[in-house]
Amino acid sequence: MTQESPQAAEGALDPSFAKGKLHVTHARDAVFETGLRDYFDYRDLGMAEATGGKVRAHVIRPSGPFEKAGDLHYHVLDFQMVYVLEGWARVHFEGVGEVRFEAGSCMYQEPGIHHRVLEYSDDYTVIEITVPADFETVSMAP
């Protein structure tokens, strides 16, 4: 006998996400590559492929020691969340000012908010989740 979960029976599951998929990655198999920002390396966690491009999740860490503040920019997307695993960073946000993030900090970033990474520690490491997986970044100023 096949039994539906209570959520499926109530129609609470979003049909736009694939059903029956399981995707697992392990730190021991991690590969970091260059990505959006040349001063960071990115470990893709495979969520874009698993969700048909709806969600991206990756681990981000510095590609080398901090040298200078990043450019002023914004992202064209629906959702962005960052969770700090290690280290710290200072980021300036339009209309908010400077915010210091440290291990355990979690941030939801409003779509389109202008921001600039000011500084980060050598061990700064975060998990970032975005919707959709692929989005545009617009640079405003160096």
Runs of H (alpha helix) within 40-134:
47-50
CATH architecture of 24-141: Sandwich (2.60)
Number of helices (H) and strands (E) in the chain: give both, helices first.
2, 11
Domain spans of the chain? 24-141
CA atoms within 13 A on the CB side of 77: 25
Q: 17-66, pLDDT tens digit by residue? A: 666 678 899 999 999 999 888 899 999 999 999 899 999 999 999 999 99
The span from the CA of 13 to the CA of 5, in Å, is 10
Q: 72-113, pLDDT tens digit by residue? A: 999 999 999 999 999 999 999 999 999 999 999 999 999 999
